[in-house]
Structure 1
Amino acid sequence: MAYDRDVVREALGKARAEGRDSLTAPEGRLICEAYGIPVPGEGLATTADDAVRLADDLGGPVAMKIVSRDILHKTEAGGVKIGVEGADAVKAAFDEIIANAKAYDADADIDGVQVQQMLSGGHEVIIGATTDPTFGKVVVFGLGGVLVEVTKDVTFRLAPMDLDTARSMLDSIAAAEVLKGARGAELADAGALADVIVRVSDLVSDFPEIREIDLNPVFARPDGASAADVRILLETEETVAPVQHSPEEILAVMNRLMHPRAVAVIGASNETGKIGNSVMRNLVDGGYAGEIYPINPKADEVLGRKAYAKIGDVPGDVDVAVFAVPAKFVVGAVREVGAKGVPVAVLIPSGFAETGNVELQEELVTAARESGVRLLGPNIYGYYSTHDNLCATFCTPFDVKGGVALTSQSGGIGMAILGFARSTNTGVSAIVGLGNKSDIDEDDLLTFFATDDNTTCVAMHLEDLKDGRAFVAAAQRTTKEKPVVVLKAGRTASGARAASSHTGALAGDDKVYDDILRQAGVVRAYGLNDMLEYARGLPVLPTPKGENVVIITGAGGSGVLLSDACEANGLQLMTIPQDLDEAFRAFIPPFGAAGNPVDITGGEPPSTYEATIRLGLQDPRIHALILGYWHTIVTPPMVFAELVAKVAAEARAAGIDKPIVASLAGDTEVEQASQYLYEHGVVAYPYTTEKPVAVLGAKYRWARAAGLI
């Protein structure tokens, strides 16, 4: 697209030279025209006679709006009149707008009144962009007009974006079907709207000094889209770009962190109860095969290992230094670690920014950068790399190897992760604490886990993101190959600076995180248990090859609840064709029900379950199965579990591998049956219809985002 960037540069430079943090409406119009954003005809009137002349030139009714750099919210100030027609009405409107503006702010610098061609028809939408503290420039689209902040029917994407991403925004709001002409509504020109979205995205990407832009309302009609009102706010504060590392640099450090050949423990101790003792015991007792170097100037040896007064005395290279000393000693020790050539320090000590000691943490970060040391922490429980038998933590050891990598910003959540993994026997590749995230954060970990052959799924608890764009880039690389589950704590954000515009106000809550995480391809969990269950279940389920889901149940009530859960989780219940309906009916009693759900009724023997499940697996038109089991003496829980596992195994042996989830209702025996099914590749839960379907829904969300369906 051809843009006149010189016009924009001149307008922004003039405003900033005058110390302004906003543009006037005529300046906003100039910028829109420079970027090809359609706006109605208009002019600036400084007298009532000017207003009459402009209205006559434009023809028909006009909209009239106050123009003042000191009055951003024109409607609040009584500075807007619409549908004004006729010379007398225009004069009266001009005088009233000026009077209202002076009453609203007697000191306001008033340029005049904007007289604008009146737009009508179509739908009022908002297109804008804001500067999010986490993700930088984000674009908003949604229903607009005066009620935009009430309806909040909007969606966000990172800028810049392509036309396909812009079009996806049109489908991501609740009113999407209305814009497509549903129920007799006027059709909106989707191509014109997407074009405006891309132009706004390009504008704020080209000129990052634009803090926010609102086009509201944009009139979306069948023959195009025009922005009736433009508001542009400018940055007044200098922004500091986050420190960036290339993927290659990140991997070089992360591989030494997660697969170290030698670990030093700064503050290693023989005294039971001390963190330095616990870390040493976990390293030694966990079977870590690399070198372990205790650093303690007052000991000759720790746990039978030769101790060194300082890390510089260690003979040979060290990959990781785990710190277990008080905060006041950390900065000096980090410099010593850097002098030794150790690439990464794992900082267990607290007493930094989390306690208000921001200066000490800043000093720590500066020392690390000057010394060439990457920092994990501080204020963490340590980390586990199970396939290396590495337990570098003062918490309980964990040694069940598997494909799930788990990270947490909180130590308490880290222990919950540990307990869940142990109680469910979830195989883990790594558990990593991030704490204050003074340096290493989620995008560093994702960059590593994306290439780690031992990791098949990543689950992350986070309270914030230091660099949202780096995270999105890392997540998009990772989710093409393996699922990433994110639990974002603190789902209500402040966005204090953002209240100065509609776009900013809309961005001041969790909606930005929700949409951008989806754009990144991650599966978002809204509770801790959800995150853990997704992490446990997603690696178990094969990737579905299509959207057709079929429920087979022994209880009608469960079938209804499972159907509700499917809708809640974005799953598509298959419309059963006649031949398949007849095939199911051949196995179920006359009083049962084919269709979807397939209700085989509760009194049926194991053979009915077996035959219908086998049919569901063998028919290529069915892509996933949800099983609803009801405990009966005719088909006891373990009998059901064993036959499902057998049928599934036979199908896999024949090259058929579909996701199967199960809900088991019954007495306590269903707990053992559910565990048995999980161990045999079927995600199963007792006493709930929601959880198995939620895990299947999460698998589908990832598969769609990864382009696998």
Structure 2
Amino acid sequence: MTAVIDPPRTAPAPDVVRRILDTAKSEGRSALTAPEAKELCDLYGIPVPQEGVAKTADEAARLADGMGYPVVLKIVSPQILHKTEAGGVIVGVNSADDVKSGFQTIMDRARQYDPNAELIGVQVQQMLKGGQEVIVGSITDPSFGKLVAFGLGGVLVEVLKDVTFRLAPVSRADALTMLDGIQAAEVLKGVRGAKPANREALADIIVNVSNLVNDIPEIVELDLNPVFAREDGATAADVRVVLDFEPKAKRYLPSQDEIVRQMNRIMKPEAVAVIGASSEDGKIGNSVMKNLVNGGYQGKIYPIHPKADEILGYKAFKSVKDVPGEVDVAVFAIPAKFVAQALTEVGEKKIPGAVLIPSGFAETGNVEGQDEIVAIARKYDVRLMGPNIYGFYYTHKNLCATFCTPFDVKGKAALSSQSGGIGMAIIGFSRSTKMGVSAIVGLGNKSDIDEDDLLAFFEQDDNTQVVAMHCEDLKDGRAFAEAAKRVSKKKPVVVLKAGRTSLGARAASSHTGALAGNDKIYEDVLRQSGVVRARSLQDLLQFARGIPVLPTPKGENVVIITGAGGSGVLLSDSCVDNGLSLMAMPPDLDTAFRKFIPPFGAAGNPVDITGGEPPTTYKNTIRLGLEDERIHALILGYWHTIITPPMVFAKLVIEVKEEMKAKGIEKPIVASLAGDVQVEEAAEYLYDHGVVAYPYSTETPVAVLGAKYRWARAAGLL
């Protein structure tokens, strides 16, 4: 399939846009009037009804006569954004007399609603008939910047909250995915005899709204609600545009080359200085030194201490400035009040990275102290990790730059956490499951280095195959999304976003803003960026462990082979929950499976071989599942029996897997083992040999397979 590339474009009539904005700014307004908003819509090809603004009742009647009945009357006032709440909207007006009385009613209601509001007049608008009501809009998120929204519209928009978001600017392909990204997507296709909505017309509006808000930074919220979507097109019945003229501070963002250069020196250093190194047990500086030494780090270690001559057999220096030669990273193990001075010396020594373990900064309310160290870092071009972190590991350099215990199981999974407690859970899980890691990184307050910096490093790190991240917020969500979109084409990126159960959306001037619950934005933008989202810490850890084990599937057809009907039902449910497609069994393949199972078993999908079958039945059905090219992944449901004990099952699975691998056939296989405690050893054996297996769970193995599939789809590999 050829990719659709949106043609280049030029912003229309910048002089007209400037005039509209300058007028609003000079009048101290934070919103455009309806006529101004219509003028912008006309410039950007957003269809709106015929309309005009009347300052008198007679003028309103003349306008209505000219465009034909019925019409809608709406108050025009810079101060009254929510017209319906003010009683400032009357629909279905069918005669000149009714227009005149409606004009007066609206003006009276508006004066009562806000006696100080400037009443410009009444907008007379052609009334639209028929079609599905949808909303198209935009908000400006503090982290992600401009977002475009699409959803079910009308008066119930904030009740139903059926809306989806994308980063602006959106492509036409993005716009079309938005139409399918709401729960009511089927309604747009026409239900109960209704005509389907014109998808191309809706996509046009979404793209044009995206262009509009992307061209004009001052627009912070925009609503087209409702948009009437019909078979022959789509028209926005009401337009609301909210402005903010305050200049926005730009975030410090080094170039990609600069990020990679400095991150490589920090993560893979040849020389490490420990500021606050100590010989005294129980001190953080002592733990860091011991971990560097006992972890097997082969680079140079320089303890920094104002009085000591030697620490743990290494020559100590009073300042990093006294160290001979280059230092790549300095690990801080001193109280917060001493960090600024020591960081200045790090900058003067031209050390590119500082790992700030100390707490006592923004997390305790000391924002000023954190701002001070960031300013020092900017002055000397030092990248800061932390503060308030446990440090980091990079196992392929045997580097344990942390006060936590050394970690020595090398592997391909890189993990990070914003929380120290979650970091300890990552370390414990990795050690318990023998999950090999390339890196474990604490980010803490994220005064400087954050997730997108790590992604830039892990993207080019040959020792990393999957990146799993815990975060409580994204300091620069747009930078992260751009990095994740790039990296996820090559390597899976898994994110556990804490705080997804927000109690409500922020206060907003538009319907779109009110719909933008923080987690809904994260959900849609992470998906748009190709990120695999974890719903729990257990998901994050299991995905990080399992995704690198599974080969990438070549298609969507999944088959379940189970020795227990009950497991088959639960595994099927899990497939639905994880977006997996159970293959509709072709007749010839159904016949082939039936050759190996008893008459009272069940082919189809799941393939139920029943629990009383010998090992050969498992072996034959699994071999068939791997051999047939129409099947792309296998889910195995094992039931503990005397005839086929757990380890017998595990070894035969690996035997068949290796037999097929020798023939060039590799497919993802996951397994659920139900039985007594012996299934634990069997599951471990399977996992160690490339089959993602779990005892006592039908949900987890399927979730891991689902995560692999979500990544493969987003990366365009299926």
Classify the TM-score, shorter chain: over 0.9
Deviation at 1:477, TM superposition (A): 1.4
1:65 matched to 2:74: yes
2:265 counterpart of 1:242: no
Aligned partner (choices 521, 526, 545) of residue 512 of structure 1:
521
Letter of the structure 2 residue corresponding to residue 240 of structure 1: A
Residue of structure 1 in register with 2:155 after alignment: 146
| C-alpha distance in structure 2 between counterparts of 1:687 and 1:344, whole Å | 45
Q: Of the candidates 654, 664, 675, which is equivalent to residue 666 of structure 1? A: 675
The aligned amino acid for 1:396 is: T
Secondary structure (helix, strand or coil) at the match of 2:653 reads helix
1:12 aligns with 2:39: no
Conserved in 2, the CA contact under 8 Å of 1:4 and 1:35? Answer: no
Residue 408 of structure 2 is aligned to residue 399 of structure 1 = yes
What SS class does the counterpart of residue 110 from structure 1 fall into? Answer: coil
Give the alignment partner of residue 42 of structure 1, picking from 51, 63, 72.
51
Asked if the contact 1:549–1:624 (Cα under 8 Å) also holds between the matched residues in 2, the reply is yes
- Residue pair 2:640, 2:676 contacting (<8 A) in 1 also: yes
2:174 corresponds to which of 165, 181, 197: 165
Question: What RMSD, in angstroms, separates the aligned Cα atoms of the two structures?
Answer: 1.1
Percent identity, please: 71
- Three-state SS of the structure 1 residue aligned to 2:508 is helix
CA distance in 1, matches of 2:191, 2:552: 34
Matches within 5 A, 1:419-498: 419-493=428-502, 498=507
Task: Say yes or no: does 1:299 pair with 2:328.
Answer: no
CA distance, structure 2, for counterparts of residue 654 and residue 603 of structure 1: 30
Kindly indicate whether the alpha-carbon contact (under 8 Å) linking 2:149 and 2:165 is maintained by their aligned counterparts in 1: yes
Matched residue, 2:330: 321
Alignment match of 2:378 (pick from 359, 369, 384): 369
Contact 1:179 1:185 in 2 (8 A): no
5+ residue gaps, structure 2: 1-8
Q: CA deviation at 1:184?
A: 2.7
CA distance in 1, matches of 2:308, 2:191: 78
Q: Which secondary structure does the structure 1 equivalent of 2:258 belong to?
A: helix
- Counterpart amino acid of residue 433 in structure 1: G
Instruction: Give CA-to-partner distance per residue, 1:508-549, whole Å, 9 cap, x none.
Output: 331000000001101000110010000000000000000000
Counterpart of 1:537 in structure 2: which amino acid? G
Q: How big is the shift at 1:37?
A: 0.6
- 1:176 corresponds in structure 2 to 185
Amino acid at match of 1:629: Y
Cα contact 1:498–1:507 (8 A) shared by 2: no
SS at match of 2:169: coil
Asked whether 1:274 is paired with 2:288, we answer: no
Contact 1:126 1:141 in 2 (8 A): yes
CA distance in 2, matches of 1:4, 1:85: 37
TM-score by length of 2: 0.98
Partner of 2:546: 537
Specify the alignment match of 1:79 in structure 2: 88
Residue 208 in structure 1 maps to residue 224 in structure 2: no
Q: Distance in 1 between matches of 2:656 and 2:191?
A: 45
Instruction: Say if 1:261 and 1:291, in contact at 8 Å, map to a contact too.
Output: yes
> Alignment length, in residue pairs?
709
| Partner Cα separation in structure 2 for residue 508 and residue 636 of structure 1 | 50
Deviations 1:588-640 (A, max 9, x none): 00011100000111111110011000000000000000011111111111111
Q: Does 1:622 align with 2:631?
A: yes
Matched residue type, 1:616: G
Unaligned runs of 5+ in 1: none
Cα displacement string for residues 446-504 of structure 1 (whole angstroms, at most 9, x for unaligned residues): 00101100000000000111111111111111111110000001114588764211111
Judge conservation of contact 2:219–2:244 (CA < 8 Å) in 1.
Answer: yes
Q: Which residue of 1 is the match for residue 586 of structure 2?
A: 577
Match for residue 24 of structure 1?
33
Matches within 5 A, 1:126-141: 126-141=135-150
- Where does residue 502 of structure 1 map in the other structure? 511
Q: What is residue 639 of structure 1 aligned with on the other side?
A: 648
Match of 1:8, SS state, is helix
| 1:336-384 Cα distance to aligned partner (Å, 9 max, x none) | 0011110000000000000000000001100111112110000000000
Q: 1:699 aligns with which of 700, 703, 708?
A: 708
Are residue 349 (structure 1) and residue 358 (structure 2) matched?
Answer: yes
Counterpart in the other structure of 2:265: 256
**Is structure 2 residue 536 aligned with structure 1 residue 527?**
yes
Q: Secondary structure at the match of 1:469?
A: helix
Of residues 329, 333, 337, the one that matches 2:342 is: 333
Letter in 2 for 1:312: K
State the secondary structure of the residue aligned to 1:315.
coil
Return the offset for 1:183.
Answer: 4.2
The CA deviation at 1:152 is 0.9
Local SS of the residue matching 2:518: coil
Residue 693 of structure 2 corresponds to residue 687 of structure 1? no
Contact 1:553 1:629 (C-alpha < 8 Å) held by counterparts: yes
Query: Structure 1 344/193 Cα, relative in aligned 2: closer, same or farther at 3 Å?
Result: same
Contact kept in structure 2, 1:348 and 1:379, CA below 8 Å: yes
Corresponding residue for 2:618?
609
> 1:119 matched to which residue of 2?
128
Provide the secondary structure at the position in 2 that maps to 1:31.
helix
| TM-score for the superposition, normalised by structure 1 | 0.99
CA–CA separation in structure 1 for the residues paired with 2:439 and 2:100: 73
Who is 1:193 aligned against?
Answer: 202
Distance of 2:506 and 2:692 partners within structure 1: 45
- CA displacement, residues 297-318 of structure 1 (integer Å, 9 cap, x when unaligned): 1101000100001111101100
| 3-state DSSP of counterpart to 2:298 | coil
Q: Which residue of 2 aligns with 1:310?
A: 319
Displacement of 1:6 after TM fit? 2.3
Distance in 1 of aligned mates of 2:349 and 2:64 = 77
2 CA distance for matches of 1:490 and 1:540?
29
- Conservation of the 8 A alpha-carbon contact between 2:308 and 2:316: yes
Post-superposition shift, 1:237?
Answer: 3.2
2:612–2:641 Cα contact (<8 Å) kept? yes
CA distance in 1 between partners of 2:219 and 2:168 (Å): 13
Partner of 1:95: 104
Structure-1 residue corresponding to 2:597: 588
**CA distance in structure 1 between the partners assigned to 2:505 and 2:412 by the alignment:** 41
- One-letter amino acid of the counterpart of residue 247, structure 1: Q
Q: Residue 505 of structure 2 contacts residue 516 of structure 2 at CA under 8 Å; is this kept in 1?
A: no
- 1:604 partner amino acid: E
